[in-house]
Amino acid sequence: MKKIFFSSLFLLCSLCLFAQGGGVPVDGIVAVIGKGIIMQSDLEKHYLDYTSQFNTVEDPEETKCYILETLIFNKLMVDQAELDSIEITDDEVEYRINARLSYFLQQVGGNTKYIEEYFHKPMAEIKKDLKEMMYEQALIEQVQSKITGSITVTPSEVKQFASNLNPDSMPVVPTAYQFGEVVKIPPVSDEEIDAVKERLNGYRERVLRGEKFSMLARLYSEDPGSASKGGDLGFVERGSLYPEFEAVAFNLKSGEVSQVLKTRAGYHIIQMIERKGESIHVAHILLQPKPSTDEQVKAISYLDSVRAIIINEHLSIDEAAKKYSEGPTKSNGGMVVNPYTNSYSFDKQSLDDATFASLNKLIPGEYSECVPFVNEDGIMAYRLIYLKEKVAEHKANIVEDYDMIKNAALEEKKYDALQKWVLDKVKVTSLRINPQYKECPFVTKWQIPN
């Protein structure tokens, strides 16, 4: 099996924010690639960040060799980007910086002081350190895209790739399910909606009187993803949130709290924290009106009746969904799409416990009893689950797992193209590596002068 470090080309960029300080030895040159230089301190800093992510490293020296090879590869890419006159706009760099900071903020509950304490730097300095790294990452991505972006594989290449694989090394594919649903969403009364709006207006008034928005969000927001973070959504780009939400949020000033607004997820108030171009850093409090007990009972009775009709009339999931279902899957023949793979196939890891429990009791072609669930917008609903297909755990094969094997074949072809590019590039680029690292078990067979 090849150790394909190119497939994780930006591993170092993804893991390393910048040096945390301390523990770095006296500097020296490790490698010279064209006009680029890799210092011993660069290597050690990346190694420290790598070990902080993975906790344990079996072979420190081999790991440093792996990191050095990735750094060399990146320098070659940046050199090519300069030759190709690739330009990266300030807006793109700013977007990448904000996205990276948003990720870190999500990891620490939305509080910037934790990031500053972890990296021992103020936020302004953190952003400054990120700027060069994000610029270089954007260059590398564009060069890599030029090399591999047009590569495809034919069915015959996929078959050839599969035939060359050792059957004993084929991965085990977990049990997979394809299922559909017939959904009923209980209506919510006007009185309940008015009560929710009144509560949110009350929270808004409390913020205007001086209470912290984040405290109220932790106490009252019904958004499970952000409530524990004080409602903080981090930096988000235009087009990534509900249109109604963005229409209000992008017009807020720093510190301002919106009026109550409605989206598919429920009712919100929004506080603007910071805006950077087309990126906004906002927090919100979400409340979701709940259907009454009577409406929930009616929904259950409705689906019980629908289930009887489906069985008696031998309706397909497509027919049943079109006649009786509500929600987005109605137009998809009732079939549920896996958001992680954009396919109809789900394994246990991509299902919530309640759905998995229902599916595991069914045989293909059966409908479940009525079960409660929370839809993609966080709304309480009920549904019948239809199991269309269940593929038992098995070793991967080209018949049942063609797409998976096709992707693996494509990745290998891209890897080969990158390897060829690197070797061709080195022929016209000066490369010198410190003798200390010349015995590294590099993936690429560098032609290094003595």
> What is the spatial distance between Cα 190 and Cα 201, in angstroms, rounded to a whole number?
16
Assess whether pLDDT exceeds 80 at residue 267. yes
Q: Tell me the percentage of the chain whose pLDDT exceeds 90.
A: 52
- CB neighbour burial string for 254-275, b if at least 16 within 10 angstroms, e if fewer: eeebbebbebebbbbbbbbbeb
Give the 3-state DSSP-derived string for the chain, with helices as H, strands as E and coil as C.
CCCCHHHHCCHHHHHCCCCCCCCCCCCCEEEEECCEEEEHHHHHHHHHHHHHHHCCCCCHHHHHHHHHHHHHHHHHHHHHHHHCCCCCCHHHHHHHHHHHHHHHHHHCCCCHHHHHHHHCCCHHHHHHHHHHHHHHHHHHHHHHHHHHCCCCCCHHHHHHHHHHCCHHHCCEECCEEEEEEEEECCCCCHHHHHHHHHHHHHHHHHHHCCCCHHHHHHHHCCCCCCHHHCCEEEEEECCCCCHHHHHHHCCCCCCCECCCEEECCEEEEEEEEEEECCEEEEEEEEECCCCCHHHHHHHHHHHHHHHHHHHHHCCCHHHHHHHHCCCHHHHHCCECCECCCCECCECHHHCCHHHHHHHHCCCCCCECCCEEEECCCCCEEEEEEEEEEEECCEECCCCCCHHHHHHHHHHHHHHHHHHHHHHHHHHCCCEEECHHHCCCCCCCCCCCCC
Cβ atoms 391, 143 nearer than 8 A: no
Amino acid identity, residue 324?
A: Y
Assess whether pLDDT exceeds 80 at residue 450. no
Assess whether pLDDT exceeds 70 at residue 329. yes
> What is the spatial distance between Cα 269 and Cα 197, in angstroms, rounded to a whole number?
10
Higher per-residue confidence, 380 vs 447: 380
Q: What is the dihedral of CA 206, 211, 212, 215, to 10 degrees?
A: -80
pLDDT band at 145 (very low <50, low <70, confident <90, very high): very high
Q: Provide the β-strand partners of residue 338.
A: 343
Ramachandran category for residue 312: left, alpha or beta (phi over 0 → left; psi -120 to 50 → alpha): alpha
**Tally of CA atoms within 13 A in the half-sphere of 229 that contains its CB:** 23
- Edge-to-edge strand list for the sheet holding 431-433: 36-39, 29-33, 431-433
Q: Provide the β-strand partners of residue 280.
A: 236, 275
Residue 128 has what pLDDT?
Answer: 84
Residue 306 has what pLDDT?
Answer: 97
Q: Which of 18-22, 70-74, 153-157 has the lowest mean pLDDT?
A: 18-22
Contacts of 390 (CB under 8 A, 6+ apart): 175, 176, 177, 178, 359, 363, 364
For residue 339, which phi and psi values (nearest 5 degrees)?
-70, -20
Taken as a whole, the chain contains a residue count of 450
pLDDT, tens digit (0-9, with 9 covering 90-100), for 350-391: 998 999 999 999 999 999 999 999 888 788 899 999 999 999
Structural domains for the chain:
5-154+404-437 (1.10.4030.10), 173-187+291-395 (3.10.50.40), 190-287 (3.10.50.40)
Written as six digits, the tokens of 301 are: 């009775």
State mean pLDDT over 107-116.
69
Cβ atoms 249, 282 nearer than 8 A: yes
Neighbours of 329 (CB within 10 A): 21
> What is the spatial distance between Cα 145 and Cα 151, in angstroms, rounded to a whole number?
10
Contacts of 185 (CB under 8 A, 6+ apart): 299, 326, 327, 375, 379, 380, 381, 382
Mean pLDDT of the chain: 87
pLDDT band at 143 (very low <50, low <70, confident <90, very high): very high
The CA angle 148-153-157, to the nearest 5 degrees, is 135
Higher per-residue confidence, 24 vs 40: 40
Assess whether pLDDT exceeds 70 at residue 420. yes
Cβ atoms 223, 286 nearer than 8 A: yes
State mean pLDDT over 32-57.
82
